[in-house]
Amino acid sequence: MTLEDILAELRLQREGARHAETGMWVASVLRERIAAGQLAPGSKLSEEALGEALGVSRNTLREAFSALAAEHVVTRIPNRGVYVARPSADDIREIYRVRRYLEPAALAWSPATDVTPLRLAVERSRAAREAGSVTGMADANQAFHAGVVELAGSERLTLLMKQVLAEMRLVFHSMAADPVFHAPYVEDNARIVELLGAGQRAEAAELMADYLRRAEAQLLAAMAGNGA
C-alpha cells in the first residue's frame, strides 16, 4: 500500500469531525495508522499533504503532531518537519528500563488479584502461536503486559505503559522482525500468571524481570545484526 493510497483513504475517513475534537481526532487517526505499520518508521509527515488529505488546516494538524510527539510516536525536528519515529538502540534500552520497573512493581505490590484478563491473554497467545499468526501473538503479548501494569490501578502508569508498548510496535516495524520472536515467551507469561495466582508475587516479579532482560538483549542483538 503506497502513501498515496493511505492519503486517499484518510480523505474518505473524515466525516465524524466535530467542534472541539478535530485535533484529537486527527491524532488518533494517525496513531492507528502508525501502529498498524501503514505509515512506516522514518516516513515524513508533510503538513501540507496530510492537512489536505485529512481536510484540516495546518494549525489543527500541528496540534495533533504535538500530542503524538509527546508520546514519542513521532519525532519532531525543528524547521525540518515531523517523521514517524524510528526507535534507536538507546530508545530500546529506555523502553526496557521503564518496563523493568513498572511490570515487576505491579506484580509485586498490586492490590488487585483478578488475573482473569491475564489468563485470557495467555490463551490468545497460545491460540495465535498454534495458528502461526505473528501479529496475533504480538497483540496478545502486548495485551498481557498492558494487563500486568493495569493491575496497579493507576491511570498514569497504564497510560505510560501503553505509550511504551506503542513504541515497541515501532521497534518491530523498524527492523525485519523475527517471525518467532514472541513464541518462546508465551510460556514465561503463563508461568507468571500461575505464580501470581498462587500468591507468589515476589517470584512472579523476579521472573518478569528476567524475561524483560532476555527480551531486551535479544532485541538489541537483532538490531545490531539487522543493521542500523
Partner DNA sequence: CGCCTCGGATTGTTGAACAATCGCCGAAAA
Partner DNA sequence: TTTTCGGCGATTGTTCAACAATCCGAGGCG
* Interface contacts to DNA, rule CB under 7 A: 17-23, 44-48, 55-60, 62-63, 76, 78-82
Question: Which residue lies nearer to DNA by CB, 17 or 157?
Answer: 17
Choice between 15 and 90, CB closer to a copy of itself? 90
Of residues 62 and 86, the one with the C-beta less far from a copy of itself? 62
Residue 21 touching a copy of itself (CB under 8 A): yes
Q: Which of 40, 28, 38 is nearest to 6 (CA)?
A: 38
By CB under 8 A, name the one of 9, 52, 94, 178 that touches a copy of itself: 94
Nearer to a copy of itself, 105 or 223 (CB): 105
> Length of the chain in residues, anyone?
228
46 binding partner (options DNA, a copy of itself, none; Cβ < 5 to 8 Å by kind) = DNA
Examine residue 220 and tell whether it contacts a copy of itself (CB under 8 A). no
Stretch that binds a copy of itself, among 102-110, 114-122, 182-190, 213-221 (CB under 8 A): 102-110
Q: What are phi and psi of 95, to 5 degrees?
A: -55, -50
What is the rounded CA–CA span in Å between residue 29 and residue 54?
10
Closest CB to a copy of itself among residues 102, 118? 102
SS3 207: helix
Residue 39 binding result from DNA, a copy of itself, none, given CB thresholds of 5 to 8 Å by partner type: none
Choosing among DNA, a copy of itself, none, which partner's interface includes residue 164 (Cβ < 5 to 8 Å by kind)? a copy of itself
Q: Which is nearer to a copy of itself, 1 or 156 (CB)?
A: 156
Question: Which runs of consecutive H residues, i.e. helices, occur in 151-200?
Answer: 155-174, 186-197
Name the burial class of residue 29, with classes exposed (0-12), middle (13-18) and buried (19+) by CB atoms within 10 angstroms of its CB. Answer: middle
Distance CA 228, CA 209 (A): 27
Residue 140: count other Cβ atoms within 10 Å of its Cβ: 23
In terms of phi and psi (left: phi > 0; alpha: psi -120 to 50; beta: otherwise), the region of 14 is beta
Which triple of cell numbers denotes residue 20? 472541539
Residue of 1, 79, 225, 228 that binds a copy of itself (CB under 8 A) = 79
All three cell numbers of 217: 538483549
Residue from 78, 114, 225, 227 in contact with a copy of itself (CB under 8 A): 78
C-alpha–C-alpha distance, residues 145 and 216, integer Å:
15
List of residues contacting a copy of itself (CB under 8 A) = 19-21, 23, 59, 62-63, 66-67, 70, 78-79, 94, 97-98, 100-102, 104-106, 109, 152-157, 160, 164, 209
